Chain A
C-alpha cells in the first residue's frame, strides 16, 4: 500500500491525513495532524476537548460558562494535561506538544500544592498536616450540598 498522505494547502485544524492510494472498500478515519491549535485550559474543560478541531458540540449545544474557582482552575489544568497525554500516545514525536505537556504537568503540580495548602489534601499521600491524619475530613467531592454544587 502506498503510504504517502494527502495534505492539501487548504487543510485546516478540522482536517486530518488520509492515505493517498487507499485499498478499495476500506473505511479510514482522518488522522489528527501535528501542531494543531489548542484551547486555553479553562475553555478546554468546558468544551470537553483541548483541540478546536475536535470541538463538535452535540446538537450545537455549546457550554460557555467557565468555572473560575480554585478547584475549577485545577480541574482545567488536569483536563488539559490528560488531553495532551492522550494526544501524545499516538503522536509521540510532536515536540511542541511534548513541551506543552511538560508545562501543564508543572503548572498542575504547582496548583495542586497551593490548593492543598489552603483547602486540604487531594491525595491520601498528602493526608498528614502537622502530624495529624486529616485525609478523612469533609467535604468529599459528593458532599457539596450547600450551594447545590461543587466548589
Chain B
C-alpha cells in the first residue's frame, strides 16, 4: 500500500520540447518492457514468494519502479 509524496525522486529539467523523443520515452514508461508493467510484475510475484529477503526485495524494487513517474513527467513536458 503506497503513500504519495508530492516530490520527484530526481530533479527534472527540460529545456526544449521534442515530440520524437517523447515517443521513445513513452515506450520506456509504458510499452512492452516498460517500467509500469515491470513494477506490477514485481509486486504480483511477491504473493507466491516463500523467502522473506526476496519478499522485501520484490517489494522495494517494485516500489522503485513505481517511482518512475519522472519518466512520465518528462514525456508530458517534452511533447
Contact = CB atoms under 8 A, between A and B. Distances in A.
A123 interface: yes
B60 A86 contact: yes
A2 interface: no
Interface string A120-151: 11111100000000000000111000001110
A75 to B, nearest CB: 6
Chain A residues touching B, majority SS: helix
A90 B51 CA distance: 11
A70 to B, nearest CB: 11
A71 interface: yes
B32 interface: no
A92 B4 CA distance: 27
Given A82-B60, A82-B64, A92-B53, A141 B6 contact: yes
Contacts of B1: none
Contacts of B11: 67, 69, 71-72, 75, 149-150
B77 interface: yes
Given A149-B12, A149-B13, A150-B12, A71 B57 contact: no
Nearest to B73: A142
Interface of B: 3-15, 53-54, 56-57, 60-61, 64, 73, 76-77
Interface of A: 45, 67, 69, 71-72, 74-75, 78-79, 82, 85-86, 89-90, 92, 120-125, 140-142, 148-150
